[in-house]
Amino acid sequence: MDKIWLKHYDQRIAPDIDADVYSSLIDVFEQSVKTFGDKTAYINMGHSITFNELDKLSKQFAAYLQQSGLKRGDAVAIMMPNLMQYPVAIFGILRAGMVVVNVNPLYTPRELQHQLTDANVKTIVIVENFATTLEKVIDKTQVTSVLLTSIGDMLPAPKRWLVNVAVKYIKKMVPSFHLPDAKRFMDALNKGQSSSYTRPEVTNDELAFLQYTGGTTGVSKGAMLTHRNLIANLEQVSGILETAITQGEDIVVTALPLYHIFALVSNCLLFMKFGCPNLLITNPRDMQGFVSELSKYPFAILPGVNTLFNGLLNTPEFKELDFSQFKFGLGGGMAVQRPVAEKWQEVTGTVLLEGYGLTECSPVVTVNPPSLEAYKGSIGMPVPSTDIKLMDDDGNEVGVGEVGEMWVKGPQVMAGYLNRAEATAEILQDGWLATGDIAKVDEQGYFYIVDRKKDMILVSGFNVFPNEIEEVAAMHEWIVEAAAVGVPHEVSGEVVKLFVVRRDESLTEAMVIEHCRSHLTGYKIPKHVVFKDELPKTNVGKILRRELRD
């Protein structure tokens, strides 16, 4: 496909980036410390640290890891929510020349065992709230060193003591566990202070992260992301967004978990490069607390997923916030729904910019420009140095306006899946990555996701895309959120079943179907409506259609 989008790029955006402009992520970090040293890097629970302090703490952790018997290239896991300890651990691991393995803290023992074993993890940094999960499987893994931390460990006294006592003894959020050989993360930092640090000469082709796919469509696989992959994506996204960002000043809100690729790159790494303060939200599910935290800071950028934006819009206090410094919300991870985007613009006075990415692409593939004046339902244009083609089921490339599976090529595409040559060969061909997402492109080069290939519903030979049904459902004022799946039918093959979370108990199945009938053609109208108190989601907020289908 011709890169038609380049004709419509902002003139300040270069069509290509240099993925080798930095020698490694260590280089990116050191440049930011040098430029923004005294600026605030992270804020969490009212406490902040500067880039210079982050430099000192992460270097101490790197020194500890180097003296602990680990070798360069070894995998070190992190299992915690958004806390100040997280960036210290990430940058410490990278600066030690080792590989970061981000672990979802809500994993079951089975999921945790799989990931630790698959990645051959030797050391794990874990918040003690989830240590009981590790205890159940540690003997079945290669883990030899456990570093425990408590929620409030990096807060100043006496707040540190108060938070840790409240979490452990008042809220009883730390189940009992037995890990007799575990050490404390803060002790490791102190030990690293008196240890010598050797800066490794890491090259761009070395692994930086083993980032595991969500596992919502099968076994979780470790995407091998090199320093070059991540640097490329930082340069690509920077090229688009730096036209709207004031470096060293704009506060970015990190409500999505840092263990997820979206927040890892779009918050942690990108805004480290920009020298901007990162406001870490430890528990974004507590919407009242989240909004209260937002009220304390002149925040400028908020990356999130549709369910997060929808949750904020349904929290009355959100509308009362001061949006005078706010520049844009950045949507990804799942489709942004038009009713949510339009309400967002109405409340905040800014456009909700939608982008698209996947773990295997480090992650960003497309994004809308900050100059966008209104939500247009598009995932945007490809970032610089990225090529996209749309393929039909027969392996032929389709043209403008036609629907096909999106294939991506660029320096951000992963090296492959760890220990999974067959799965790698299925998704990667001649540098092209088959995303499994169905899309189309318009004359200006804006792409539109039609749906996930595997989520498509086939009704009497017609393709029905769940996103369309869900967006129509969300237009109803009494519907909070909805998810559509296909269920077997003896005549039509499949019919649409809609799961709905309602705002008003008086909403009936007949009313939902009638609402859909006024916006959808006959075969797309749900035949079954099921009301639920909540929909099953991943920890990032992506609705698990598979679980509903099952």
Tens digits of residue pLDDT in 512-524: 999 999 888 888 9
The mean per-residue pLDDT over the stretch 14-38 comes to: 98
Statement: residue 91 has pLDDT above 90: yes
Statement: residue 360 has pLDDT above 50: yes
Q: What local confidence, expressed as pLDDT, does residue 234 receive? A: 98
The mean per-residue pLDDT over the stretch 539-550 comes to: 86
pLDDT band for position 107 (cuts 50, 70, 90): confident
Whether the CA torsion 366, 369, 372, 374 is positive or negative: it is positive
The overall average pLDDT reported for the chain is 94
Higher pLDDT, residue 456 or 547: 547
Domain count, the chain: 2
Q: What local confidence, expressed as pLDDT, does residue 415 receive? A: 97
* Domain encompassing residue 55: 43-202
The kind and range of the H/E element at 79 are strand 75-79
Return the percentage of the chain with pLDDT > 90, whole number. 86
Supply 126's token pair.
């874990």
The mean per-residue pLDDT over the stretch 46-65 comes to: 98
Domain end call among 150, 175, 202:
202
Residue 481 lies in a domain: yes
CATH number at residue 124: 3.40.50.980
What's the whole-model pTM score? 0.89
190/364 Cα distance (integer angstroms): 37
Long-range contacts of 314-321 (CB under 8 A, 24+ apart): 314/287, 314/480, 315/287, 315/288, 315/290, 315/291, 317/288, 317/291, 317/292, 318/291, 318/294, 318/347, 319/347, 321/291, 321/294, 321/295
The mean per-residue pLDDT over the stretch 246-267 comes to: 96
Tens digits of residue pLDDT in 314-339: 999 999 999 999 999 999 887 888 99
Return the percentage of the chain with pLDDT > 70, whole number. 99
Residue 393 lies in a domain: no
275/317 Cα distance (integer angstroms): 30
Q: What local confidence, expressed as pLDDT, does residue 489 receive? A: 85
Residue 198 lies in a domain: yes
Residue 88 lies in a domain: yes
CATH number at residue 471: 3.30.300.30
Residue 451 lies in a domain: no
Residue 74 lies in a domain: yes
Q: What local confidence, expressed as pLDDT, does residue 216 receive? A: 41
Q: What local confidence, expressed as pLDDT, does residue 462 receive? A: 76
The mean per-residue pLDDT over the stretch 420-424 comes to: 95
Cβ atoms 329, 304 nearer than 8 A = yes
Nearest residue to 192 (alpha-carbon basis) of 63, 314, 377: 63
Tens digits of residue pLDDT in 123-154: 999 999 999 999 999 999 999 999 999 999 99
pLDDT band for position 96 (cuts 50, 70, 90): very high
Domain end call among 202, 221, 241:
202
pLDDT band for position 496 (cuts 50, 70, 90): very high
Strands 432-441 and 299-304: unpaired
Domain end call among 146, 170, 202:
202
Nearest residue to 498 (alpha-carbon basis) of 530, 523, 536, 476: 530
Peptide bond into 363 cis (omega under 30): yes
pLDDT band for position 286 (cuts 50, 70, 90): very high
pLDDT band for position 393 (cuts 50, 70, 90): confident
Statement: residue 28 has pLDDT above 60: yes
Residue 92 lies in a domain: yes
Q: What local confidence, expressed as pLDDT, does residue 217 receive? A: 44
Q: Which residues of 396-410 are buried (b: 16+ CB within 10 A; e: fewer)?
A: eebeeeebbbbbbbb
Cβ atoms 525, 492 nearer than 8 A = no
Residue 131 lies in a domain: yes
